[in-house]
Amino acid sequence: MGLLALKLGSGEELVVDVLEETDTTIKFQNPTGVILRNTNSGPAIGFLPWMKASNGPFEIDKKNVIISAEVADEVKNGYNQIFGAGIVVPPKQLLVS
53-58 long-range contacts (CB < 8 A, ≥24 apart) are: 56/28, 56/29, 56/30, 56/31, 57/19, 57/27, 57/28, 57/29, 58/16, 58/27, 58/28, 58/29, 58/31
Confidence of residue 90 (pLDDT cuts 50, 70, 90): low
Which of 20-29, 40-49, 56-65 is predicted with the least confidence, judged by mean pLDDT?
A: 40-49
The domain locations on the chain are 2-83
**Rg of the chain over CA atoms, in angstroms?**
15
Cis ω for the linkage preceding 31 (within 30 of 0): no
Nearest to 14 by CA among 31, 30, 26: 31
Residue 81 CA to residue 97 CA, distance in Å, equals: 33
Residue 8 CA to residue 5 CA, distance in Å, equals: 10
Q: What percent of the chain has pLDDT over 70?
A: 87
pLDDT tens digits, one per residue of 6-31: 999 999 999 999 999 999 999 999 99
Looking at the structure, give the CATH architecture of the domain made up of residues 2-83.
Roll (2.30)
